[in-house]
Amino acid sequence: MPAVLFRSPNDSSEPWRQALSERIPGLDFRAWPNVGDPADIGFALVWKVPPSFLKEFPNLKAICSLGQGVDHIFADPELPRGPHILRLVDPWMGRAMAEWFLLQVLRFHRQGPDYEAQQRRREWKQLPAPETSTRRVGFLGLGALGAEAAGKVAALGFDVAGWSRTRKSLPGITSYAGPEELDAFLARTDILCGLLPLTPETTDLMDASLFAKLPKGAFVVNAGRGAQLVETDLLAALDSGHLAGASLDVFRTEPLPSDDPLWTHPKVQVWPHVSALTNADSGADQVAENIRRVFAGETPINSVDPDRQY
Ligand code: NAP
Ligand code: GLV
C-alpha cells in the first residue's frame, strides 16, 4: 500500500497517526519532515503547506485538506493537476460552527455589546427588549456549515435568509442565489454571517460597497476567510456609525499582528480562528474511508471541483 504523508503547521500529527492506524491496520503514515522516498507517497493530508511542496510527490493520488476549506491548496501555483482534491465535511465541525454563530447572533440580538459597554461605565440602564421574529439574519454561504448554522438560528425564531451560488430549498430559510440577488439579500439583513469559501469570486466581497447595502446598524460576523473582508473598509463603516459592530474569527493575516487596529476597536470582537477546529477523532472515519477508496481506485467522497475551487 502507498504511504500517507501528513504536514500541517497547526495540527499535531500524532492524533491523526493514531486515529488512522486504528482504522487502517499496517498504514504507512509519515509525518513531515520524515518523508522517506517521495515516490512512496500516494495520499497527502495537509494544511497550508508551502507552495511547490506537493509537486515533489510523483505518485500522489489525492490531496486532502485538514479542514473544510481548500483555498490553502489552490493557493499553490504549482499544484499538481492529477490528484483528487478532498476536504473534511465533518458533522462535529458543523455543530461547533453552528454554536459559534448562535453565540454571535444572540450576543448582538440581546444587546450584549451595549450592556458590555454599560458595564465598563458602571451604568445600570435597561434597553428596550428586542423582538426575535423581526430580526433578520443572513448567511453568506449555505453549504455544509452555513446550512446547519442557518437552520439552528432559524429554529430560535429569527427571520433567516441565505445567499449561495445555486438556489436552495431549506426549511425556514429564504434563499437568495447568484450575484443578481445579492443586493436584495443585503438590504434585508441585520446580522450578516459570513461562511463562504475563499475563491476568486469571494475575495474582497465584503467591502465598502457591500457594507453600504446593509441597513444602518447592521452587525457583521465572519468565519469564512479573512481575505473575503476588506478590513479597512469595515473599520470605516464602524467608525461612521453605519455598522454597529463585528465579530471576526478569520483575518487577512493570521495570527492577527499585535499592532492591528482590530484588536482594540471597541466595536470589534476578535477570535483566533477557532469557530470550528479540526478534530482527528471525528474526522478520521472519512479520511480513512478516502484513503481506502483512493488506493482501491474507487471514487472518493468529499471531493472538490478544481474549476469551482470549493
Ligand atoms: P461548502 O459546503 O463548500 O459551502 C460553500 C457555500 O458557499 C455554498 O452554499 C456555495 O454555494 C456558496 N458559495 C461559494 N461560492 C459562492 C459564490 N461565488 N457566490 C455565492 N455563493 C457561493 O463549504 P463549507 O463546508 O460550508 O465551508 C465554508 C467555508 O467555511 C470554508 O471554505 C472555510 O473557508 C470556512 N471554514 C472556517 C472555519 C473556521 O474555523 N473559521 C472552519 C471551517 C470552515 P452553492 O451551495 O450554490 O455551491
Ligand atoms: C478551517 O478554517 C477549515 O477550513 O476547516
Pocket flag, ligand 2, residue 8 (CB < 6 Å): no
Q: Is residue 49 part of a domain?
A: yes
Beta bridge partners of 38: none
pLDDT at 158: 98
Looking from the CA of residue 66, the nearest atom of ligand 2 is 5
CATH of the domain at 48: 3.40.50.720
Torsion sign over Cα 121, 258, 74, 280: negative
Shared domain check, 190 and 117: yes
Q: Is residue 308 part of a domain?
A: no
Shared domain check, 163 and 95: yes
- Structural domain boundaries, residue 164: 91-270
pLDDT band at 119 (very low <50, low <70, confident <90, very high): very high
Shared domain check, 282 and 143: no
Shared domain check, 252 and 178: yes
**Three-state SS for 271?**
coil
pLDDT at 193: 99
Nearest ligand to the CA of 144 is 1
Shared domain check, 176 and 61: no
Pocket flag, ligand 1, residue 136 (CB < 6 Å): no
Shared domain check, 208 and 111: yes
Residue from 10, 64, 68 to probe ligand 2 pocket by mutation (most atoms less than 8 Å from CB): 68
Q: Using alpha carbons, select from 95, 150, 142 the residue that is nearest to residue 277.
A: 95
Shared domain check, 71 and 95: no
Report whether 38 contacts 57 (CB < 8 A): yes
Residue from 48, 145, 205 to probe ligand 1 pocket by mutation (most atoms less than 8 Å from CB): 145
Shared domain check, 248 and 100: yes
Q: Using alpha carbons, select from 32, 186, 36 the residue that is nearest to residue 194.
A: 186
**Three-state SS for 5?**
strand
pLDDT at 107: 98
- Expressed in angstroms and rounded, the spacing between residue 41 Cα and the centre of ligand 1 is 29
Pocket flag, ligand 1, residue 227 (CB < 6 Å): no
Shared domain check, 37 and 132: no
pTM for the structure as a whole: 0.98
E-assigned strand segments in 141-212:
159-164, 173-177, 191-194
- List pLDDT tens digits, range 256-288: 999 999 999 999 999 999 999 999 999 999 999
Domain count, the chain: 2
Q: Is residue 303 part of a domain?
A: no
Shared domain check, 120 and 259: yes
- List pLDDT tens digits, range 228-250: 999 999 999 999 999 999 999 99
**What's the rounded Cα separation, in Å, for the pair 117 and 127?**
13
pLDDT at 294: 98
Shared domain check, 286 and 252: no
Shared domain check, 126 and 60: no
DSSP-derived secondary structure for 274-297:
-TT---HHHHHHHHHHHHHHHHTT
- What's the mean pLDDT in 286-292? 98
Distance of CA 178 to the CA centre of its chain: 20
